[in-house]
Amino acid sequence: MAQGTFGTAINCIDGRAQEPVTAWVRANGQVDYVDTVTIPGADHALTQMTLDRLAQVREMVAVSVNAHGSGIIAIAGHHGCAAFSADREQHEAAIRAAVDVVRGWGLPTRVVGLWINDQWQIEQVV
Ligand SMILES: [Zn+2]
């Protein structure tokens, strides 16, 4: 087991979205480090990708959970996303659906959904 405590983020590739999510997970999950899997428009993508691709994402997240003992997985969607150009309501619906997908993976972790607003602040959706 690695030194320190870990959480996990499934986030967009967007560089602007990384720091707010990392900071939120560190503070609210009370962990030292945040392992991050990035996918363009992650909130939308998790509900649209093929089962093969989804299994690959689950595998990446499972390393964080199993090897680092992560107890929280945060799925984030953000304002101004190039990969999923949608309004806030559509993003929130996608975040909720993505949380359901990840909860279905049966990992022993809390799963939360985060919205990053136009001020790059985090709002917890799920
Ligand atoms: Zn994005």
Answer whether residue 1 shows pLDDT above 80. no
Q: How many domains does the chain have?
A: 1
Q: What is the mean pLDDT of residues 72-87?
A: 98
Mean pLDDT score across all residues of the chain: 97
- Residue-wise pLDDT for 50-71, tens only, equals 999 999 999 999 999 999 999 9
Answer whether residue 8 shows pLDDT above 90. yes
Note whether residue 105 is domain-resident: yes
What's 88's domain CATH number? 3.40.1050.10
Residue 1 alpha carbon to ligand 1 centre in Å: 32
Note whether residue 18 is domain-resident: yes
Domain that holds residue 66: 6-124
Residue 3 alpha carbon to ligand 1 centre in Å: 31
Q: Which residues of 16-42 are buried (b: 16+ CB within 10 A; e: fewer)?
A: ebbebbbebbbeebebebbbbbebebb
Q: What is the mean pLDDT of residues 18-36?
A: 98
pLDDT, position 2: 81
- The one-letter amino acid code at 5 reads T
Measured in residues, the chain has a length of 126
Q: What is the mean pLDDT of residues 15-25?
A: 98
Residue 93 alpha carbon to ligand 1 centre in Å: 15
Q: What DSSP element (H or E) covers 8?
A: strand 6-11
